[in-house]
Amino acid sequence: MYYKKIDKNNCREIILGERLVTADRERFITILDSFIKSENKALILNFKDMHYMDSAGLGFLLLARQAVHDAKKKLVLKLVKHHVKSMFNVLNFDKIFTIKS
């Protein structure tokens, strides 16, 4: 799983690659754990490059939501588009996540 990490203003932004799938589980957990242990107060998952996410990827987001909430930090999804956005709408993720344009 390709990603880019940017720490700025007490936020960690992770620009995700083109896909988030079952095989990315360990890498995603590592990214999440690193954020939880950091001083950053918010995690921004940037979907600007993402074109595909399988059901495991959706599960990773739910896992992140709970872990970030338990750490008393904030999670924001950013620049969700195309196929991924339509999945989010069907699953009502827009009601349980903060999603920014």
Q: pLDDT per residue over 53-99, tens digit each?
A: 999 999 999 999 999 999 999 999 999 998 899 999 999 999 999 99
**Count of domains in the chain?**
1
Structural domain span for residue 50? 3-100
CATH value at residue 60: 3.30.750.24
CA angle 7, 12, 13 (to 5 degrees): 100
Q: pLDDT per residue over 6-56, tens digit each?
A: 999 999 999 999 999 999 999 999 999 999 999 999 999 999 999 999 999
What distance lies between CA 94 and its chain's CA centroid? 13
> So what's the pLDDT on residue 88?
93
